[in-house]
Amino acid sequence: MPLASYPFSEHYGWTEDKYGLSWQIMLAGEEQERQRITPSLMFVGKVCGKAEEAIDLYTSLFPDSKVGPILRYGKDEEPDEEGKIKYASFVLDGQEFAAMDSAREHDFGFNEAISLIVNCETQDEIDRYWDSLSAVPEAEQCGWLKDRYGLSWQVVPSAMDEMLHTGTKEQIARVTEAFLKMKKFDLAELRRAYEGSEKDG
């Protein structure tokens, strides 16, 4: 969409950078100050029409989450179905996101080029997010998963970041060797690898 005036913004444009990443640039005007950069998810192809279902799932999983304003397609906006999401705002763990359905033909969809990282403090957290989100077993690897809409997530223990940044070369090598064999991360096993101890039993 060229930089121009639209009903929702005096100055708005949708463009693509030299890396192929898509951006929407908008003058907010006198609206209440919002998050400067907001990830926006477009549900197309087989998952078109699933945006609201996905928003409900995501906001049910994360603390400090809520559904914001929703703008829906009208009856004269074919090929999009009346009532589906034209634009919706939602918050996950305090961070704002946007989502939309689009029934038009697109040569893209969700893939591993973009993923959302969930940092977890405990194994219980890892288990809960993994079990709630993962829907494509063959996509599970090294903390990565795909949900039922094709969106990629990385569910990772926060402690691993410290291990990989403060450990010795030997500790980092052991942790790396351990996590490369994992699908869902096992925090206790990563700690044993970091400390150089054998698995109990």
Location of each CATH 3.10.180.10 domain in the chain: 115-195
Instruction: Check residue 58 and give its pLDDT.
Output: 98
CATH for the stretch 115-195: 3.10.180.10
Quick one: tokens of 123?
């194994």
Instruction: Check residue 179 and give its pLDDT.
Output: 95
Please say if the pLDDT value at position 115 is more than 90: yes
Instruction: Check residue 32 and give its pLDDT.
Output: 56
Give Cα 131 to chain centroid, integer Å. 16
Location of each CATH 3.30.720.100 domain in the chain: 4-101
Instruction: Check residue 86 and give its pLDDT.
Output: 95
CA angle, corner 82, sides to 45 and 149, nearest 5? 30
Please say if the pLDDT value at position 60 is more than 50: yes
| C-alpha atoms less than 13 angstroms from C-alpha of 89 in its C-beta half-sphere | 9
Looking up tokens 């969409």 gives 1
Q: Which fold has domain 4-101?
A: 3.30.720
> Measuring CA to CA, which residue among 68, 63, 190 is closest to residue 128?
63
Give pLDDT tens digits for 140-167.
999 999 999 999 999 999 999 999 999 9
Instruction: Check residue 201 and give its pLDDT.
Output: 40
Please say if the pLDDT value at position 123 is more than 90: yes
Please say if the pLDDT value at position 198 is more than 70: no
Mean pLDDT along residues 176-197: 95
Beta bridge partners of 155: 118
Mean pLDDT along residues 104-123: 95
C-alpha dihedral sign at 116, 120, 126, 132: negative
